[in-house]
Structure 1
Amino acid sequence: MISFEKLASKWQKTKVLKKNFEIKDYLPETKWLNKKNLKSMLQKHQAVFVKPSRGTGGVGVIKVETGEDRDERIYTYHHIKKTKTFKTIGKLYFSLKKKIDKIQTKSKRGQGRYMIQQGVPLLKYENRSFDIRVIVQLNKKTKKWESAGMLARVAHPAKIVTNYSSSGTPMKYEQVMASFLSKEEIPVYKEQLENLVVKMANELSAQCNQLQILGFDIGYDENIKPWLIEVNLEPRFKSFKITDMETYEKIESNFTGYRGEEPVKAKPIKKRSKWKLKNVLEKQSEFRQHVPETQWFNHENLSDMLDRHQMVYVKPDNWSMGRGVFRVERVKNEDGSDRYMFQRETKVYSFDSFAELFASLDKQIKDMMKKRKTKNKKCLIQKGIHLLKYEGRIFDFRVLVQRTPDHKFEVTGMAGRVAQSQRVVTNIANHGQGYQVEPLLAQYMSDEQVQAFKIKLKELGEKIAPIYNLDAIGIDIGVDRDFFPWIIEVNIWPNLYGFDELEDKTMFNRIMEIRNYWKNR
């Protein structure tokens, strides 16, 4: 048997699947990256992809192509928006190694030894690359693998990867494939693809019995032959909400975690560091998809995250109450050029270049830290979530979970926090305002949907609390325009701002009852 951790390697998954002769024909040629292999692969294939063996989200993928310029052989690589051309394999390989070193220094999602994968000439939809994401789940009752959902992912015109996190567009399988197949052929090809990925799932699970859900990324070539691009052991499936809510809910209802039910950690967490609190949550695969991407603040990380997300938040690692938070954006001018902005409190600063933005932002952060005289001067960059709004103001939810006298974890408080107009944080201590949950969601959902969403938040809170094993935690949850909950922050010393100003004091009284019980023990 192979452990989950070992099978997470793309190389190991390829190695397992290649042993099955029925599957082998659908796998692109793959080799470890070195100068000799790069040369031989480019002699056989016009294009290859250089990618990390343990990367996720399309991070670190580099496309390398070979061609001719004035009868002279040239080599070109593409990474995000950058393109470089070389006349020799040696120079190409040297530049690739430097680029890989930079990627691995700044991104935890581009790790592992690098591989070279055969570039398959894929079909294009409206001149944009696309692949097919198929989610396969282990049926709880029958213990058999079943196809749970299928959609197409169409790449951003300027990107070489199709991932949703890299600005890819999820679309219905039938809509995209209608450009290549007749109405009668579409269900036939869909069923063939489902049978193929189920066969692959059986092969992988025979070697690792921890698997519960898998995501297969499949590309079609010009003959509409499927090719396996990648297998994800911990696939996100949020993009199904955009194309097919019914399928999303079916997947979620059968979702028990990437490795089934995992044991809860019981060691109390007492550090206020946002980075450490975030890491604790990310280690639990059930919650990982709810945590926005977070990196340490520096020049390279900020540039990279703005390229991929356009909007991020920069915040001190261990401050509270929304103090010191900056909203940073990259926007397009009418002429197509980039403009950079950041906002702190209600003041907005605008710049023509990223260099100007970073210099000003970095100076403000250093000045801010000097005034506070704090030992921990680190800041984080967090992927920006476009939150729902109430009367033009962003809002999120504070979910308070307490340990009851009988040592069970109970959500005793749930309230909305609406930011003051033009401000970037919702904290009550930073001019935010407390609200009941219902009126905030009423403009987006029916009464029944609001109650169902509250139950979802409650379940999320009561599952998370045992991980930290404290008498009380406050979880700040933001909801995006697809109604997906994001865990913005976990507070291990939660205040009661917002709950005390609600007209109905039932919730506040229950919170104080439990707080006083532990205080007086």
Structure 2
Amino acid sequence: MDDPIMKHNVPDTEWFDRSSLRRMLRTYSLVYIKPDVGRKGNGIIRVKRLRAEEFEISYKQTTSLRSRDKVYSAIKELLNPDKEYIIQQGIDLATYRHRPFDVRVVLQKPLGKWRTTLMCAKLAPRRSSVVTNVSKGAKDYNLYRLLKGTDQRLNRSEIIRNLIDVSKQIAQILGSHFPLKILGLDMGIDKRGNIWFIEANTKPDCQGLKKIDRRLYRKYLRAKKIMRNG
């Protein structure tokens, strides 16, 4: 977020409290509250503004309506008191067959240089799904094929090029602060084709991607072998 170029690819993000919730809901019609440390989409809450004073709160498989002055207390009831949470601008994700999807980009660092070795789309199971995690019912798809059939008219080659470029820049920034050799980046594509950085995973599970794109998976295994032997 401090990088003058990459900050434009990061959704507005703050620590969650009453004042940040108030500001975010004034600014955006959709926000997410998520644990600062978490996995598999657990604990994520979506808040959507329906009207000026009415909000929809979605958590797991439940949805409830709250007035503006009751939103904060309703969210607090869902939070784990032992965790810290962030609040993040919601992205109006592109859709395939009316279901939202995001993209997992895996980068590895053999021979001291970041390489993009795996990419796949994660398609939510329902139009109303809160998250696109495979552990919550989403399905991995070949990204190149899925981009051919999106509900929005998107420039596939431009999106792939931008995804790779933005992902490598993110890896370089994070790699300058942490001793990383592999990263799994969750990237969003909005309905206009803009690229967004949602979150980073330092231990991405890549086994399920073997069937999605065998050519890319071989590239991933080669990089993994170089890093192991190096």
Give the TM-score normalised by the residue count of structure 2. 0.90
Which protein is bigger by CA-based radius of gyration?
A: 1
User: In the TM superposition, what is the alpha-carbon distance from 1:231 to its structure 2 partner?
Assistant: 1.1
Could you tell me whether the CA contact under 8 Å between 1:164 and 1:239 is conserved in 2? no
Which residue is 2:217 aligned to?
248
Q: What SS class does the counterpart of residue 210 from structure 2 fall into?
A: helix
Asked if 1:123 corresponds to 2:106, the answer is: no
2:167 paired residue number: 197
Q: Which residue of 2 aligns with 1:74?
A: 54
Q: Does 1:178 align with 2:140?
A: no
1:160 equivalent in alignment to 2:139: no
Task: Say which SS state the counterpart of residue 251 (structure 1) adopts.
Answer: helix
8 A contact 1:129–1:160 mirrored in 2? no
How many residues are matched? Answer: 225
Matched, 1:52 2:35: yes
Q: 2:12 aligns with which of 29, 53, 61?
A: 29
| Alignment partners' CA distance in 2, 1:88 and 1:227 | 28
Map 1:121-160 → 2, pairs under 5 A = 121-139=92-110, 141=111, 143-157=112-126, 159-160=129-130
Q: Deviations over 1:406-460 (max 9, x none)?
A: xxxxxxxxxxxxxxxxxxxxxxxxxxxxxxxxxxxxxxxxxxxxxxxxxxxxxxx
CA distance in 1 between partners of 2:4 and 2:201 (Å): 21
Q: Tell me: higher relative CO, structure 1 or 2? Use CA pairs within 8 A at least 6 residues apart.
A: 2
5 Å matches for 1:384-423? none
Offset at 1:182? 7.7
- Determine what percentage of the aligned residue pairs are the same residue: 27
Equivalents in 2 of 1:51, 1:202: separation in Å?
Answer: 25
Structure 2 residues not aligned, in runs of 5+: none
Q: CA deviation at 1:170?
A: 0.7
Shift of residue 253 of structure 1? 4.1
CA contact (8 A) 1:31 1:37 kept: yes
**Separation (CA, whole Å) in 2 of partners of 1:146 and 1:253:** 11
The one-letter code matched in structure 1 to 2:99 is: R
Deviation, structure 1 residue 219: 0.9
TM-fit CA distance, 1:45: 0.2
Question: Per-residue displacement from partner, 1:15-68 (whole Å, max 9, x unpaired)?
Answer: xxx121110100000011111110110110001000001011111111001122
- 8 Å CA contact retained: 1:55, 1:112: no
TM-score in terms of structure 1 length: 0.41
Contact 2:11–2:90 (Cα < 8 Å) also in 1: yes
CA RMSD of aligned residues (A): 2.0
Residue 39 of structure 1, aligned match among 15, 18, 22: 22
- Return 5+ residue gaps in structure 1 as ranges: 1-17, 105-110, 262-521
